[in-house]
Amino acid sequence: MKVIEHLERAKDPLISFEIIPPLRGGNLQKLLRLTEDLARYKPPFIDITSHSAQVIYHETKDGIRRVIKRKRPGTLGLCALIQNKYECDAVPHVLCEGFTREETEDFLIELKYLGIDNVLAIKGDDIGFKKPLPPGRSVNSYAIDLVGQISDMNGGKYLEGEILLDAEPSNFCIGVAGYPEKHFEAPNLETDVRHAKAKVEAGGEYIVTQMFFNNDHYFRYVEKCREAGITVPIIPGLKILTTRKHTKSLPSFFHCEIPPLLADAVDSARSSEEVLEVGVDWARRQTEDLLDRGVPSVHFYVMQSSKAVSMLLDRLDV
C-alpha cells in the first residue's frame, strides 16, 4: 500500500521508522532483531536509507590504500525482506548523489518487480567523491530532477534511447524531504519552502521532515508551506538524543538546533543512562505535543538500535 493511502485511511496518527543497512558484510541478524522489535508497534511503513560509493582509506603494510566502495549496500535486499517478512511497506531512499539516472532507472525497475510502491526521493549527502560519469550517462543534480524522473516512469516514460516495447508505467508514491530549520544550502526558510513546493508540483505526494528538537520549528514550517499552497501531508521526523556527543554531532551533521534546556539537561546528567532518560523524556514531550496538535504521523529516525524508541513508545502506550 502507498504511504499516502496509509495516511488517508488511518483513524489515528501513524508511527513509522527509518533504519540503516548494516556495514558492508555486516551481521544481518542484528538488523532483523531490530526490525522485529519495531514490528511489534505495527508500523505501516519503514524507511530504509540508501548509500552511494565513497572513498575509503585503508592502512596497509605498503602504505595507505585508496579504495572506492559502498560502505552500506543492501537497500534493495532489505526492502524485499521487510516487505515480505513483516506486515509493513518498505520505503527505500533513492538518491541523486553517487548514482546515474540510468542506475536509478534500473533500481526503480527492480523495486517495481518486487511490488514496492513507495520511494523517498532525496539529493543525498555530499560525500566528497564524484564518480566519473561514463559516456552516454546522465545524473540528477537535485531532488526535483529525481522526482521528475520517477514521475516520468509513473507516466510510462523511460529514459531516452531505451527501446522498451513492453514497458509499463510504474506506480510509485513519491515522498520528498522537508527542512523545518531550512536546508543548510538555502539562504532562508522562504526559499527552502519554494523548493519544497517545486518538488511537490513535480510529483511529490508527501513530505517527511528532517529531525528537529523544537516543535515550534515544525509548526512554523507547516504554516509557511500551507501559505505557499502546499497541501500534501507533512510528517514530522524525530530523533531521540541518546548520547552526550549528539549535542554536537547532530547540529553539525544535520544542521538542527539543540534547545538550551535540552543541552543543559544533557550536560547535567551524571551517567550515560541519565543522558538516555533525558533524551527519551524530551522526545516523549515532543511527540505528545505533536499528536495533541493533530499531526498525521510521526516518523522516528531509529537507524541501528530500537532501545530508545521502544522506551519512548512504551511510555506513550502506542
- Number of helical (H) and strand (E) elements in the chain, helices listed first: 11, 10
Q: Tell which residue, 302, 316, 313, has the closest CA to residue 41.
A: 313
Identity (one letter) of the amino acid at 168?
E
Give the separation between CA 227 and CA 293, rounded to whole angstroms.
18
Instruction: Sketch out the chain's domains with CATH numbers.
Output: 3-316 (3.20.20.220)
Most confident of 79-88, 156-165, 209-218, 300-309: 209-218
Q: What angle do CA 308, 257, 95 make, to 5 degrees?
A: 75
Q: Percent of the chain having pLDDT more than 90?
A: 75
In the chain, the DSSP E strands lie at 14-19, 45-48, 54-60, 63-69, 89-95, 118-122, 173-178, 206-211, 234-238, 297-303
pLDDT at 297: 96
A 10 A CB-CB count for 88 gives 21
pLDDT of residue 87: 82
**283 grid coordinates:** 522526545
Q: Taking residues 243-258, what's their average pLDDT?
A: 94
Does residue 161 carry a pLDDT above 90? Answer: no
**Mean predicted lDDT score pLDDT of the chain:** 91
For 288, other C-beta atoms within 10 Å of its C-beta total 12
Helix (H/G/I), strand (E/B), else coil: 166: coil
Assigned C-alpha cell, 276? 538516555
Q: State the Cα–Cα distance between residues 44 and 247, nearest whole angstrom.
A: 31
Of the candidates 278, 284, 317, 315, the residue with the CA atom closest to the CA atom of residue 300? 284
Q: How far is CA 87 from the centre of its chain?
A: 20
Distance CA 128, CA 259 (A): 30
> Is the pLDDT score of 266 beyond 70?
yes
Instruction: Choose among 161, 107, 131, 123: nearest CA to 54.
Output: 131
**SS3 at position 287:** helix
**Which pLDDT score is estimated for 126?**
67
Q: Is the pLDDT of residue 106 over 70?
A: yes
| Cβ contacts of 131-134, under 8 Å, gap ≥ 24 | 131/52, 131/53, 131/68, 131/98, 133/100, 134/100
What is the pLDDT at residue 45? 97
pLDDT of residue 291: 96
CA-CA-CA-CA torsion for 148, 150, 156, 157, nearest 10 degrees?
A: 50
pLDDT at 111 over 80: yes
3-state secondary structure 75-99: HHHHHHHHHHHCCCEEEEEEECCCC
pLDDT tier, 311 (very low <50, low <70, confident <90, very high otherwise):
very high
Q: Which residues face 16 on adjacent strands? A: 299
Least confident of 15-29, 244-258, 282-296: 15-29
Question: Whole-angstrom Cα distance, residue 238 to residue 301?
Answer: 6
Query: Of the spans 22-31, 55-64, 69-78, 242-251, which averages the highest pLDDT?
Result: 242-251
Q: Comparing 77 with 63, which gets the higher pLDDT?
A: 77
Q: Is the pLDDT of residue 115 over 90?
A: yes
Please return the burial class of 279, using the count of CB atoms within 10 Å of its CB with bins 0-12, 13-18 and 19+: buried
